[in-house]
Amino acid sequence: MLSQVAEGVLTHESAFVQTNTVVVRGREGVLLIDPGITDDELTCLAGDLRELGRPVVAGFSTHSDWDHVIWHAALGKPPRYGTARCAADMREQLAQADAKENIAASLLETEIAGQVPMDLLGDITGLPAEATEIPWDGPRVRIIEHQGHAPGHAALFVEEAGVLIAGDMLSDVLVPMFDNVRSTNNPIEDYLASLRLFEEVADDVAVVIPGHGSVGGRGETRARIDRDRAYVHALRDGRAADDPRIGPSAKPGWEWVSDIHEGQLRTFSR
């Protein structure tokens, strides 16, 4: 079910790790960002958009993790964009033998095993490296590209509505996560640089939408930036992180985030 979070901006939350799909209304149709997750959810999403009388005229993936590059035939065949680096990373992943089969196999122990459509996964087109906004017939959507979390990661800022779509960052349930395989030689500094980019627009943000977790209202963006920065600093310095997303204060059902933290702590300690 779609929920309006700002004028012209709606979200759909998947049952799987609170994954947020974002819909931005344009003149003739909608921009669909990070659609997911299961076949049933995507079919439902397509039905909701038909009821609104709004076809999908463009898609966008904030980054190349599997859960952000899903698509369904019921959503049509619009152009699906990502940053140039995101698209290149996606091509590299899909060039590996049995790439989609391996993703499907990795989900066998989860509650969505066999439910994620794989046929159209990752079929995205890289925008020119100098692109600063989404090319579509709708409100201006700025691209804030950075290298935090994944190569070519992009947050999107819908200026007119004051909505920041943060991808896999600024979550209230997930700590900052680092891809040490695909990232640059300094993932900590890359992440801190991305938070500084978010700070540049924070005062204009009325709603922040993370890839996973709860939508935040006015004032929440800076609080989430500060929380993420404190976590990254603690990780960099090898200190214990006083963070509500890990340990005894973690949200029920999200205790496994502490395991991610412990793994990252070991990695950066080395």
- Residue 144, preceding bond cis, omega within 30 degrees? no
- pLDDT attached to residue 180: 55
Residue 71, token pair as written in the block: 């698509």
Task: Give the neighbor-by-neighbor strand order of the sheet with 3-6.
Answer: 3-6, 9-13, 20-25, 30-33, 56-60, 80-82, 125-126
- pLDDT attached to residue 179: 76
Buried b (16+ CB within 10 A) or exposed e, 40-77: ebbeebbeebeeeebebbbbbbbbbbbbbbbbbebbee
Distance between CA atoms of residues 30 and 193, nearest Å = 31
- pLDDT attached to residue 12: 96
- pLDDT attached to residue 183: 56
C-alpha distances (whole Å) from 247 to each of 239, 254, 256, 258 are: 14, 10, 9, 6
Distance between CA atoms of residues 24 and 215, nearest Å = 15
- pLDDT attached to residue 181: 52
DSSP code string of 195-243: HHHHHHHGGG-SEEE-SBS--B-TTHHHHHHHHHHHHHHHHHHTPPP--
- How much is the pTM? 0.95
DSSP H or E run through 82: strand 80-82
Q: Give strand pairing partners of 144.
A: 155
pLDDT along the chain (270 residues), means of 10: 95 96 96 97 95 94 97 97 96 94 94 96 95 96 95 96 97 90 76 97 97 95 97 91 91 93 87
Q: Which residue has the tokens 């990232």?
A: 183
Task: Give the neighbor-by-neighbor strand order of the sheet with 153-158.
Answer: 141-146, 153-158, 163-165, 207-209
- pLDDT attached to residue 113: 96
| Domains of the chain, first to last | 3-269 (3.60.15.10)
- Write a three-state SS string for 138-183: CCCEEEEEECCCCCCEEEEEECCCCEEECCCCCCCCCCCCCCCCCC
Q: Give strand pairing partners of 261.
A: none
- pLDDT attached to residue 182: 56
